Amino acid sequence: MEIKGIDTLYNHLITKYNYNPNCFMDLGSGKGAVCIHMAKQPAIEHVLGIELVDERHEEAVTLRDTLNEKDAKKVDLILSDIFKVSLKKYKPMNVFIWISSLCFPQEVVNNIFKKLKRELRPGTIVCSSKTITNNIGTVLETITLPQSWNASHQATIYKL
């Protein structure tokens, strides 16, 4: 996900759905650019990035260290498998989740949605680059997001 794309998605959720998240999660957070960008949003109180690849995670930690102290405290970056991380402490929050799921097999994406449904509050918004096939959550719409290479990217918005 590019910064332009996450901004488009975030602003769309606020304006069209009147959804005002105070927590952002990036599942498959890579080098952390999206997490760091979202930490700078005044309404976002907490950011969680979960990444499986050690090198990408280390780059994200280095990038987080460039933030001012206030914004850096908002960001938790975890090197782990999503299925080994409890999300229950985030249940009271209005969470906005981005899953860059194109590299994940469909069964994994479906299982991630099951986990999110179990551990987070009803009404949580999940945006994914891959459509789920297990009927968990309500499809709100599919949106086209800009990318830096003058292409577009489709993301589906779900409400748990």
Q: What is the DSSP string of 2-37?
A: -HHHHHHHHHHHHHHH----SEEEEET-TTSHHHHH
Per-residue pLDDT at 27: 93
Q: For residues 75-102, give the mean pLDDT.
A: 92
- Per the structure, the count of domains in the chain is 1
pLDDT in tens, 36-56: 999 999 999 999 999 999 999
pLDDT in tens, 105-141: 788 888 999 999 999 999 999 998 877 777 788 889 8
DSSP, collapsed to helix, strand or coil, labels residue 44 as coil
Structure pTM? 0.91
Structural domain range at position 48: 3-159
Per-residue pLDDT at 136: 81
What are the DSSP E strand ranges found in 5-151? Answer: 23-27, 46-51, 75-79, 95-99, 125-128, 138-146
- The DSSP 8-state label assigned to residue 84 in this structure reads G
pLDDT in tens, 12-42: 999 999 999 999 999 999 899 999 999 999 9
Q: Which helix (H) or strand (E) holds 156?
A: strand 152-159
pLDDT, greater one: 67 or 49: 49
pLDDT band at 144 (very low <50, low <70, confident <90, very high): confident
Per-residue pLDDT at 102: 63
How far apart, in whole angstroms, are the C-alpha atoms of residue 24 and residue 35?
A: 8
From the list 36, 15, 3, the residue with the least C-alpha distance to 157 is: 15
CATH number at residue 118: 3.40.50.150
Per-residue pLDDT at 145: 81
